[in-house]
Structure 1
Amino acid sequence: MPKIRYGMVGGGEGAFIGAVHRMAAALDGDYALVCGAFSSDAQRGRRSADALGLAPGRSYPTLDALLAGESALPAEERMEVLAIVTPNHLHAPAAIAALDAGFHVMSEKPMALDLAEALAIEAAVQRSGKLYGLTFTYSGFPLVEEARARVARGDLGKIRLVQVEYSQGWLSGPLDREGNKQAEWRTDPARAGLGGCLGDIGTHAFQLTEHVSGLTVEQLSADLTTHVPGRRLDDDIAALLQFENGARGVLKASQIAAGDENGLRLRIHGEKGGLDWSQMEPNTLTIRWLDRPAEIIRAGGPGLEASTTARLRTPAGHPEGYIEAFANLYRSFGHALRAGQTRPPAWDTVDWFPGIADGLRTMTFVEAMIANSAGAAKWTSLADVLEARRNPS
C-alpha cells in the first residue's frame, strides 16, 4: 500500500517535538515525509530539509508557500497530511489554512491559544471534511487502553473518585530568562496561550482523566499559581472536579516540583476497587480490590483486551513507551485516512485517536480553570464556558 505523504510545519533542527513526530510516523512504515516549512529562519529550514533528505523544491520558507506549492503538484505527489509541531500560537492558523486547502491535519496539543480559536478549527474541520487529530500521547499507551476498557466494562463498579497528577520540575528556575528556547515560548502568553503549565501538561492530565474514566467533568474549582518571580504564566495548578455521575476528582499539575521528571499518574476508584497507572512505569497497571489480593497487569501478559494487544509492539518484558504510544496515534490516524473517514472512530474501538472533541474539551477546561481561579465563584461549569463562547451575548 502506498505510504501516506505528509509535510511538517515547524520541527526543524534543535526542535524536540518535531523529531518525535517523525519517529512516530516512521515506526510502522505507513508515512513518508515529503515536504516541510521547518523554520521561520530560511537557512535553518533548508538545512533541516537537507538533513532529512527531502527532494529539492519541497523545502518551503513559509506555511503559505508550502500549501500553495503542494496544492499545485499532481494529486499522486502532493502532501496529504500536515503535521503541526510549532509553538502554540501557530496551531490554529496552520490547522485552519491546511484544512481549507484540502489537507488533513495532525496537530500538537494544546489545540489552540484559546477556546475561540478551537471553535474556529472545529468549523474548518466541518467545512473541509478532512481528518483532524491531536497528539495527546499518553492515551496511546497500551495499558491506558486496558485501564479504559476495564472501567468501561464495569470491573470497578460505579466510579467514585478520580485522581490525576502530572509533576515536572524542569521550570523550577528562571530558564525562560536564561536562553532556554523551550522554556521561553512556553512561558510567553503570546506564544503559549492562556495557560503555562495549565496548557502544556494540565491539558494532558485532563484529557487522560476523561478518556479513561469515560466520565465528563461538569464543574471545577481551580487554583493557578506562579512561583518563579517574573514569570508571566502559571507554573503550578490544582483543581477539584465534579463529574457527571456524582464522582469527585482531584487534578494536580506542576512544572516547579523540583527533582521530578515526568510524573504523570492516574488513579481511578470505584465501589469495588481502584486502578493505578504511571507514565514512568507504563507497562504496569495495578488494580487493588476491596475483597481480594491486588492484580499486577503487565503489557504483553495474559488476559488483556483485544484493543490493548492491538497497541502492543513487543513481547512481554520488552519495554516500550513514549515513542510507541505516539506511533499508535499516527497509525490509527492513518487507518482512518485510508478508510476515507472524516472523524476519529468511536473512543472504544481499536483505531480511536484524539481529535476535535478532545481538543474542544481541553480548551474548555483551560478557560474554565482561568475563569474560576480569577473569579469569586466556588464552582465553574464547563458547559457554561463552552456555551458562552459558542453563543456570545
Structure 2
Amino acid sequence: MSKVLSYGMVGGALDAFIGDAHRKAINIDGKARLVAGCFSRSWEKTLEAGEALNVPEDRLYHDFYEMAEKEAAREDKIDFVVIVTPNYAHYDACKAFLNAGIAVSCDKPLCVEPEEAKELEALAKEKNLQFMVTYTYSGHVTAKSIRATIAAGEIGEIRTIMGEYPQGWLAAEDISGNKQGEWRINPALSGKTNCLGDIGTHIENTVYRMTGLKIKKVLAKMEKIVPNRKLDDNTTVLVEYENGASGCYWSSQVAIGHDNSLRVRIYGSKGSILWFQENPEVYQVYREDGSITEIHRGYDAIKPEAAKYQRLPSGHTEGWLEAMANLYSSFIDCLNAQAEGKFTEDMIDYPTIEDGVDGVEYIAACLKSQDSGNTWVDFN
C-alpha cells in the first residue's frame, strides 16, 4: 500500500473558495492529509484556518518563505505544497518551495511573466521535483476519454476547433463585497489580464490536453466592456495550430445567463466531438456516415485509460471536484513512485509545469497581439 502523503497549503483561508475546493478534492481519495499552512497574509486568519482544519500551531507560518524554510528542515516535512493565492504571489511561492526541495501544485495561471514561468520550469527539472498546475477540467473522465479517442484517430485529422467559456458573474460595474471578483479585476493581484488568464487559459489547456495540438500563432481581441474596468472581461482569440488547423476561443465574464459554460467542439476529417463542462458525464461523437454516438461515463464505451478514474456507477454524477481529485490522484501516485524509485515519465497524467508555461506564454502572445492592433503573433 502506498504511503499517505502530507501536504501544506499557501493561501486558502476559510473565506477563500479555491483553497477549500483543493482540500475537498484531495480528501476524496484519502491519499494525502493537510499538516501545515500559511493560509493568509493575516496571521489571525491563518490561526483561524489552522484551528478549523486541525493543523497544529507549530506548523502554521506567517509567510510562505518561513514555511518553505522550516518545513524543509523538518524530519517529517511536507511531501508537497498546494499554492492557491492570487496570481501575483504564484512565482515567489513556487520558487521558495522548489528551492526547498518540495514538490508543488499551483493553481493556474502559473505566474505572470513568461520569463518567470521558464525559470520555474528549469528549477523544477534541476531539482527533479514533480510540479502540477491545476487545470481542473482536464481531469474529467470524459475529457480523458476524448483524448484517447482522438489519439486513436477515430475522428481523423483535426481541422478546426471551437472553444468557449462564458460566465456572467462580473457583468455589473459595482462588485464591492465580491472578494473573488475584486482581486481578479485588480492588476496588482491578478497581473496583466483578468478574463483571459482566469478562464481563457482553461480553454487553451483543455483543448491541448484533448488533442495534443500545439498553437503556432494567435490573433486576440481583449475587451474591457464594463465601465471603469482595468483588465479584460471579454476576449476572442483566433488560433492557428502547428498542423495547420484553425481555432476560435471565446471567454467572457459578462455573459449574463452563463455560469461555468466551458464548451469544446472538435471537428476532424472523419468526425466531430462535442463536450460541455456543465454536463461532464457525457460527450457526443458525430461520424461522417451520419451516426451520432453519446458516450456516458460509467459504461464500457469510456476508454480504459480514462475509466480507471471512475469512482461511481453511471447515474451517480461525478463532477468538478472529482475531476480535480483525478489530477491529485495521479500527482500523488507519481510522488509515491518517485520516493520508491519506481517512477517513469509515462505515469504522469496531470497538467505539468510545461502546461503552466504554455498558459503563461499564451497570455503573453495574446497581450502582444492586442497591443499591436489585433495582429497575428507567433506563439513561443
Question: TM-score over 0.5 for the alignment?
Answer: yes
Shift of 1:339: 1.2
CA drift of 1:376 comes to: 3.9
Structure 2 counterpart of 1:10, one-letter code? G
**1:25 and 2:23 aligned:** no
Question: Are 1:360 and 2:357 matched, yes or no?
Answer: yes
Q: 1:214, CA displacement in angstroms?
A: 1.6
Q: CA deviation at 1:351?
A: 4.4
Alignment partner of 1:105: what SS?
Answer: strand
Q: Show the counterpart of 1:288.
A: 286
Question: What value does the CA root-mean-square deviation take over the aligned residues?
Answer: 1.5
DSSP-derived class of the 1:57 partner: helix
- Which SS does the other structure have where 1:49 is aligned? helix
**Distance in 1, Cα, partners of 2:171 & 2:377:** 29
Deviations 1:39-79 (A, max 9, x none): 111111101000001123111111122122212321xx211
**Is 1:66 the counterpart of 2:63 in the alignment?**
no
Aligned in 2, Cα 1:287/1:140: closer, same or farther, shift over 3 Å?
same
**1:319-369: CA deviations, max 9, x gaps?**
010000000011100111111189x976xx674110111011111110110
> Is 2:334–2:347's contact at 8 Å kept on the other side of the alignment?
no
Shift of 1:3: 1.1
Aligned to 1:180: 178
Q: How much does 1:25 deviate?
A: 1.0
Q: SS state of the match for residue 339, structure 1?
A: helix
Structure 2 residue matching 1:79: 3-state secondary structure: coil
AA in 1 matched with 2:379? L
Answer whether contact 1:310 1:350 (CA < 8 A) is retained.
Answer: no
Specify which of 335, 338, 341 is matched with residue 340 of structure 1. Answer: 338
1:372 aligns with 2:369: yes
- Which residue in 2 is equivalent to 1:150? 149
Cα distance between partner residues in 2 of 1:78 and 1:246: 48
**2:165–2:260: 8 Å Cα contact kept in structure 1?**
yes
Distance 1:161 1:139 in 2: 20
- Amino acid in structure 1 at the alignment position of 2:321: I
1:378 deviation in Å?
3.0
The runs of 4+ residues in structure 1 deviating greater than 2 Å are: none
- 2:125 match: 126
Partner of 1:34: 35
Deviation string for 1:275-307 (max 9, x for gaps)? Answer: 000000000110112213200100011222111
Name 1:309's counterpart in structure 2.
307
CA distance, structure 2, for counterparts of residue 121 and residue 202 of structure 1: 22
Partner of 1:102: 101
Residue deviations 1:7-63, cap 9 Å, x none? Answer: 001001100000011011111110010100011111111010000011231111111
- 1:145 aligned counterpart, secondary structure: helix
Alpha-carbon separation, structure 1, partners of 2:215 and 2:12: 34
For 1:247-290, what per-residue CA distance to the aligned partner results, in whole angstroms no more than 9, with x for missing partners? 11110000000121110001101111100000000001101122
CA offsets 1:144-185 (integer angstroms, 9 cap, x no match): 011111111110111101110001000001244x13211111
Code of the residue aligned with 1:227 in structure 2: it is: I
2 CA distance for matches of 1:278 and 1:211? 15
- Report the equivalent of 1:190: 188
Confirm or deny: 8 A CA contact 2:29 2:325 kept in the other structure: yes
Q: How does 1:120-269 map to 2 (within 5 A)?
A: 120-176=119-175, 178-269=176-267
Distance in 2 (CA, whole Å) between partners of 1:377 and 1:48 is 45
Q: What runs of 5+ residues in structure 1 fail to find an aligned partner?
A: 384-393
In 2: Cα distance, 1:82 partner to 1:291 partner: 50
Q: Say if 1:175 and 1:99 are closer, same or farther in 2 by CA, change over 3 A.
A: farther
Segment drifting more, 243-252 vs 53-62: 53-62
Q: Deviations over 1:366-392 (max 9, x none)?
A: 011011111046311102xxxxxxxxx
* Counterpart residue type for residue 8 of structure 2: G
Residue segments in structure 2 that go unaligned for 5+ positions in a row: none
Counterpart of 1:387 in structure 2 is none
Amino acid across the alignment from 1:105: V
SS at match of 1:337: helix
State the alpha-carbon separation in 1 of the partners of residues 311 and 54 from structure 2: 28
Distance of 2:118 and 2:300 partners within structure 1: 43
Q: Normalising by structure 1, report the TM-score.
A: 0.93
What is the Cα deviation at residue 2 of structure 1?
Answer: 2.7
Q: Secondary structure at the match of 2:262?
A: strand
Matched, 1:86 2:85: yes
